[in-house]
């Protein structure tokens, strides 16, 4: 019984982890049809923000929950103003430009902080016990944060005026601007929010994974495949994508080890796309956010 609970806990953590690293990407993709190839680097920047801030004596919770999203969100807004806004409607060029940005950020961070791992910070919470097994309290905390983050994004999109305007712009930009909405401002805010959520995720994962200039590459493959499998609905897509792929990954990793788990995740995603080219939410849950 304890073993079952421990395994389910790990499975849920894997799913939450996938959802956490993908949500920022999904927001930007779902709202703006922009696939941000610098997503991994935004996560990396979130991690570095936390490391630099804690080394400077800032409380780790403030660094993770406030500073990381703030800093990366501001970087996101700058990137949108300088780079992305010239390329709206040209998906391939956006993809290439953000890839250039990704290399640029890796290079910049390597020049500043060096190519090796920056000072690691240990996960701040202790161990929780499940009968004979133990699990990290920080993992439980991450699951909780992911759920809260989903609720917060849902509430923002569904209950606030900004969310209403943003959803309107997403559905029909011309009509929104005809009704007096500044669509460029909405795009800027959306990109900033997506980047901020990404920064938060990067900051929260920094104690678990450590930070490296090239750490983005380890996240993006999973994040992309989750978002693409999920389809264009931001929350429902990320959630279903994470549950399906995280579940498959977790089960295979439990049976055969982590290597096969990742391959199984990829194979599942490719077969899924053969069956549902527009992602899960392209076929099911269409009315969801």
- Give ∠ CA 109-111-117 in degrees, rounded to 5: 60
What letter would DSSP give residue 66?
I
The span of 61-69, 85-93, 142-150, 246-254 binding another protein (CB under 8 A) equals 85-93
* 3-state DSSP assignment of residue 88: coil
Residue 289, both tokens: 């956010």
Among 11, 19, 27, 35, binds another protein (CB under 8 A): 35
Tell whether residue 153 is a contact of another protein (CB under 8 A): no
The span of 51-59, 96-104, 123-131, 133-141 binding another protein (CB under 8 A) equals 96-104
Tell whether residue 102 is a contact of another protein (CB under 8 A): yes
Among 1, 116, 178, 274, binds another protein (CB under 8 A): 274
DSSP 228-247: HHH-S-HHHHHHHHHHHHHH
Residue 25, both tokens: 């990407």
Closest to 153 in 3D by CA, of 196, 212, 117, 183: 196
What letter would DSSP give residue 60?
H
Nearer to another protein, 155 or 263 (CB): 263
The span of 68-76, 84-92, 156-164, 247-255 binding another protein (CB under 8 A) equals 84-92
The span of 14-22, 87-95, 180-188, 241-249 binding another protein (CB under 8 A) equals 87-95
Contact predicate 228/245, CB 8 Å = no
Please tell me the count of residues contacting another protein according to CB under 8 A: 43
Residue 196, both tokens: 């901020």
Closest to 84 in 3D by CA, of 123, 128, 31, 163: 31
Site string for another protein, 105-144 (x = CB under 8 A): xxxx-xx---------------------------------
Cβ neighbors of 92 (< 8 A, separation 6 or more) are: none
**Which residues here bind another protein, judged by CB under 8 A?**
35, 83, 86-87, 91-93, 95-97, 99-108, 110-111, 214, 216-218, 220-221, 224-225, 228, 258-259, 262-263, 266, 269-271, 273-275, 277
């Amino acid at each position: 019984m304890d073993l079952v609970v421990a395994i389910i806990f790990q499975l849920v953590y894997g799913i939450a982890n996938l959802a956490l690293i993908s949500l920022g990407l999904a927001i930007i993709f779902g709202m703006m049809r922009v696939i941000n190839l610098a997503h991994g680097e935004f996560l990396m920047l979130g991690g570095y923000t936390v490391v630099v801030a804690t080394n400077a004596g800032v409380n780790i919770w403030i660094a993770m929950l406030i500073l990381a999203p703030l800093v990366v969100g501001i970087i996101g807004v700058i990137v949108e103003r300088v780079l992305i806004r010239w390329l709206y409607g040209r998906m391939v060029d956006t993809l290439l430009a953000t890839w250039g940005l990704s290399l640029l950020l890796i290079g910049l961070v390597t020049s500043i902080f060096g190519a090796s791992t920056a000072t690691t910070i240990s996960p701040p919470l202790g161990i929780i016990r499940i009968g004979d097994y133990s699990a990290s309290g920080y993992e439980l905390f991450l699951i909780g944060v992911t759920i809260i983050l989903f609720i917060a994004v849902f509430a923002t999109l569904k209950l606030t005026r900004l969310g209403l305007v943003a959803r309107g712009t997403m559905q029909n930009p011309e009509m929104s601007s005809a009704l007096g909405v500044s669509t460029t401002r909405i795009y800027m805010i959306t990109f900033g929010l997506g980047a901020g959520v990404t920064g938060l995720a990067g900051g929260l994962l920094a104690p678990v994974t450590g930070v490296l200039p090239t750490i983005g590459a380890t996240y993006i493959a999973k994040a992309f495949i989750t978002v693409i499998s999920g389809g264009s609905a931001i929350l429902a897509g990320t959630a279903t994508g994470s549950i399906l792929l995280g579940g498959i990954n977790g089960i295979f990793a439990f049976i055969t080890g982590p290597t096969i788990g990742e391959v199984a995740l990829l194979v599942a995603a490719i077969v899924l796309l053969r069956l549902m080219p527009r992602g899960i939410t392209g076929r099911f849950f269409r009315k969801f956010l």
